[in-house]
Amino acid sequence: MSTFPTERTAIITGAVSERGIGRATASYLAAQGWNIGIIDLDDALCKAAAKELAAEHGVKAFGAGANVSDEGSVRAAIDAIEAELPQIVALANVAGVSSPVPYLELDAAEWDRVLNINLNGVHYTTRRVAESMVKNRIGRIVNISSVSAQRGGGTFSKTPYSVAKAGVIGLTRATARELGEYDITVNAISPGPIDTDIMGGTLSEERKDELTKDLVVNRVGSTRDIAAAIAFLISEDAGYISGQTLNVDGGLYMH
């Protein structure tokens, strides 16, 4: 059983938005003593978020701006994070975009935009981080999929989003298989309805009630619910779990 180094870093993509899963995850992990690398579109906002986390939790944090759908920019950001922080042990691929466009109104540009960010972005980030993890022979990768992948939509976002998030599950399983020999685990989390802006803005109480009707618990999810699941899957104790998709969805999809 491989053990973690005392000083370890988790990289989180899409971690700037105050109400997002990425930001909640960065705070949750920093509170557990992880050093934090932040990747998001705006470099200045990444650096500000990192500074805030470091001050609040007494950890090291560094932010680097990158567009996850551009491999060169992702590699440069991770190079910069690696130069500033302790060993990269974990990666949470959270960055993503929604897409409520109906299929019959979908054009090629929207399809490419959603697939490039939500699927290619996960691949580019994973590919670069895996190089470092393989060298050190330890790593935990968690990708954010969606219940939309398993149900074929039925959420705010439609077809290209469902396709990309289904691709994330395939990527998770294939990389888990190939990276396992290096003591790297790769898992996905499939959130159900979570109160974030990706649902089309802040959820009204009425919309929350409507969404809760489909669940077996009596509330929609919070970003903290997902952050806690990510924290578990990247923990030292979760080394025997790999290639799995954990549904954190209030019982919306049982399989």
d(CA 2, CA 77): 27
Residues 34/59, Cβ–Cβ less than 8 Å: yes
pLDDT recorded at residue 200: 62
Q: What is the largest CA-CA distance in the chain?
A: 52
Sequence-distant (≥ 6) Cβ neighbours of residue 226 within 8 angstroms: 21, 24, 25, 144, 189, 191, 194, 248
Query: How does pLDDT run across 134-162, given as a tens digit for each residue?
Result: 999 999 999 999 999 999 988 889 999 99
Give residue-wise pLDDT tens across range 192-219: 999 887 666 677 888 888 889 989 999 9
CATH pick for 9-248 out of 3.30.420.310, 3.30.70.890, 1.20.1420.20, 3.40.50.720:
3.40.50.720
The predicted-structure confidence for 182-194, as pLDDT tens digits, reads as follows 999 999 999 999 9
Strand 35-40 and strand 9-13: pairing?
parallel
HSE of 209 in the Cβ direction (CA atoms, 13 Å)? 3
Q: Which of 103, 161, 240, 253 is catalytic?
A: 161
Mean pLDDT (the chain, rounded): 95
What 3-state DSSP class applies to 116?
A: helix
Euclidean distance between CA atoms 64 and 37, whole angstroms: 8
Residue with tokens 């969805």: 249
Instruction: Name the pLDDT band for 30 (thresholds 50, 70, 90).
Output: very high
Contact 29, 231 (CB under 8 A): yes
Per-residue model confidence as pLDDT tens digits over 38-84: 999 999 999 999 999 999 999 999 999 999 999 999 999 999 999 99
**Which runs of consecutive H residues, i.e. helices, occur in 63-183?**
71-84, 108-115, 121-136, 147-151, 159-179
Is 103 among the catalytic positions?
no
